Chains A and B, each alone.
Chain A
Amino acid sequence: MKRITTPITDEMVNSLNVGDMVYVSGYIFCGRDAVLPKIVRDMEEGKLADKGIDLTGGVVFHTAVSPAGTGPTSSNKLEIEASIEPLSKGGIKMHLGKGQLKPETIAALDKYNSLYAVIPPVTALLESKVSSREVMAYPEEGMEAFHRLYVTDFPCVIAAVRGKSIYDKEA
């Protein structure tokens, strides 16, 4: 297993290949269907800094954050997959979720030297690796608010980077 700590640099992205098993540590953002389109809109309107959010080198984990814990939702849900290109453009280097993405999304990741990793939906295990959680924006969304966690050794597999995808048979 390789280990990386946020913020993620271009060099770190360049060192990773499809199929690599990686432990991710540090601060990561969390959001899914309800809030990611709002974060994209705020980013495009230049309002993220007012909320204390800096996407540079960041990770977005596609999950709700609730008393039940965290776990990946399908990254190919309409609003979530649509957020991947603009958030990559805004500085996000890792999108963490599950499920196959469209070829055009894989190409968009490559365009901004970002990557997609999948994480097993192992909520009970992940809970033991989260040491802090806070709401960064849209608290009215409850468990779907934009959260930030501090995590240690979240296990994941690199599923798409530099235009290649684990879902391609030749990858």
Chain B
Amino acid sequence: MDQRIIDLVCDTLVRAGSTFRPDQKEAYRRAMKTEKNELANWCLATTLENAEVAEKNRSPLCDDTGIPHLFVEIGPNRQLTGDMMAAIQEGVRQGLRTLPGRPMAIKGDDMQRLDQSGGLDEDSGALAAAPMIIKNVDEDVLRVTVLMTGGGPAIRGITERVFHKHNAKVVADEIVARAKDRVSLLGCSPCTLAVGIGRSQYEATALMIEAMAKGNYDKQTEMEKYITDEVNKVCTCGPLGLGGDTAVLATFMKVGPQRASGVRIVALRPCCCFEPRCASVEL
């Protein structure tokens, strides 16, 4: 296996699990300037302080270090072989041991994994990554983005159809309605809403992962900003559910191809206060 790829992916996973990106830090600083609630401001400042300590120590932002998800972009003149994919998976294993990831792989057969009766594997690296998403891009790169997805947002997420009535605002308003209770129940707010809109549950979820990988707090489309503002109007839970104006920091949305139909499939994930935990590397 290619040791260079293993080392690069290992380092990328550690960065994903321990580091706020510059635009993410700036989003927190902006929120602290406008948030008037004392408890909310304390939560925002403590979360930012935690990010600085985690980055300095290269230690986990959160004890739920998350399930590794891999988003791969491949340009027209690049190749991705089976050996390279195996090296990427080995890099994930070593990254999980280095971070360290929480050892939460469940052992056993299908039934034992469902009811958790097979026990836990003590090896952080035993946690398998989710199936890799590979996307063709025009840029001449082979880029791997590692995302570490926590359990809280997975509990609150939803993938379901919207009857759009030939009006994009209907879709946006349904996303706002679905987000309201889910953000309140999340606990680890302020959240970032990740949204994928496609033609099937699979496609919508893949687009949602892409939105998490490529989203930027400094670049918000009109519809992303609309969703963020509307959820913050109706959701008074604030950071950590303690009240305030900052329930949602931003929305990262990816709209894919759509079918000639009255229905759109929407995947929605209320990412927690540390997410999207992601980092990229060019191989």
Which residue from B57, B60, B274 sits with its C-beta under 8 Å from A68? Answer: B60
From A7-15, A104-112, A136-144, give the one contacting chain B: A136-144
Contact with B along A133-151 (1 / 0, CB 8 A): 0000000111110000000
- In the complex, the chain A residue whose C-beta lies closest to that of B97 is A67
- A127 vs B18: C-alpha distance when bound (angstroms): 14
A143/B120 in contact, CB under 8 A: yes
Inter-chain contacts of A39 with B (CB < 8 A): none
Chain A residue nearest in CB terms to B49? A125
Asked if A74 contacts B155 (CB within 8 A), the reply is yes
Binary interface profile of B, 46-69, with partner A (CB < 8 Å = 1, else 0)?
A: 110111011001011111110000
Interface size class of A (residues with CB under 8 A): 35 or more
Stretch binding the partner chain, chosen from A47-55, A85-93, A114-122: A114-122
Establish whether residues A123 and B240, one from each chain, have CB atoms under 8 Å apart when the complex forms.
no
Question: Can you name the residue of chain A whose Cβ is closest to the Cβ of B65?
Answer: A68
Complex contact B240–A98 (CB within 8 A): yes
B residues near A143, Cβ cutoff 8 Å: 102-104, 120
Which of B27-35, B87-95, B183-191, B246-254 forms contacts with chain A?
B183-191
Decide if B241 is an interface residue (CB 8 Å cutoff). yes
A28 within 8 A of B: no
Q: Quick one: which of A55-112 are within 8 Å of B by CB? A: 63-64, 66-76, 98-100
* CB-based contact B119/A140 at 8 Å: yes
Structural contact, B100 and A142, CB atoms closer than 8 A: no
Rounded to whole Å, the gap between the CB of A129 and the closest CB of chain B is 11
- B122 nearest CB neighbor, chain A only: A142
Cβ-defined contact, A69 with B60, below 8 A: yes
Smallest Cβ distance from B61 to chain A, in angstroms?
6
Contact status A68-B99, CB under 8 Å: yes
CB of B102 to closest CB in A, whole Å? 4
Is B116 engaged at the interface, CB distance under 8 Å to the other chain?
yes
Chain A residues within an 8 Å CB radius of B185: 74, 76, 99-100
The answer on a CB contact under 8 Å between B242 and A159 is: yes
- With CB as the reference atom, state the residue of chain A lying closest to B57: A124
**Across-interface contacts of B57 in A (CB, < 8 A):** 124
Which residues of the other chain, B, contact A121 by a CB distance below 8 angstroms? 62-64, 188, 272-274
15 contacts between A and B (CB under 8 A): A68-B63, A71-B63, A71-B64, A76-B185, A98-B188, A121-B188, A124-B18, A124-B50, A124-B59, A125-B50, A140-B119, A143-B102, A157-B39, A159-B242, A166-B243
Would you list the 10 A-B pairs with minimal beta carbon distance, nearest first? A99-B187, A122-B50, A71-B63, A124-B54, A98-B187, A142-B120, A68-B102, A124-B53, A67-B100, A123-B63
